[in-house]
Amino acid sequence: MSEAEQENVARLRAAAEQARANAWAPYSGFHVGAALEAADGRVFTGCNVENASYGLTNCAERVALGAAIAAGARDFRRVVIVSDALEPATPCGACRQVLSEFGRDLRVLSFGVEGASAEWTVEALLPRAFGPQDLALERRRGRAG
């Protein structure tokens, strides 16, 4: 990794840590922050937002993605995740699916609380994800049948 790349990752990690500090996690006590880097260099952050109705909880990754989409960003380079876990946490299944909508080659870089890191692509985390191609297949079948 080049020096410029290392500086960029450090900037994204700091943004994710700042978001994690704002996490609303009174039920799990598990705080997560995410920083999503758009292709144009903008950075969008998110934190987990829990709810007393547990199933309504939003993850940091999806909160960051929602902010990015609302701001008009559509192309992304990577998402950096920080959590309270010792080991780098992977995105949950729902977040993998939602991230895959915007790029199967999107890089996911995760840091544990003591700095251990791991990196994957969305494709590696969710091979053969459901996507627009599946919807097109269903339409073709409908016309043929």
Catalytic positions: 61
Report in angstroms how near the CB of residue 38 gets to Zn ion at its nearest.
Answer: 20
Stretch that binds Zn ion, among 3-11, 14-22, 59-67, 78-86 (CB under 5 A): 59-67
CB of 6 to Zn ion, least distance (A): 27
Minimum distance from residue 5 beta carbon to Zn ion (Å) = 26
| Ramachandran angles phi, psi of 125, nearest 5° | -80, -25
Task: Output DSSP code: residue 118.
Answer: E
* 122 contacts Zn ion (rule: CB under 5 A): no
Q: Which is nearer to Zn ion, 6 or 27 (CB)?
A: 27
Which 87-106 positions form the footprint of Zn ion (CB under 5 A)? 92, 95
Kindly write down the DSSP assignment for every residue of 97-113, as one continuous string.
Answer: HHHHTT-TT-EEEEE-T
CA–CA distance, 80 with 40 (Å, rounded to integer): 16
Q: CA angle, corner 122, sides to 140 and 80, nearest 5? A: 145
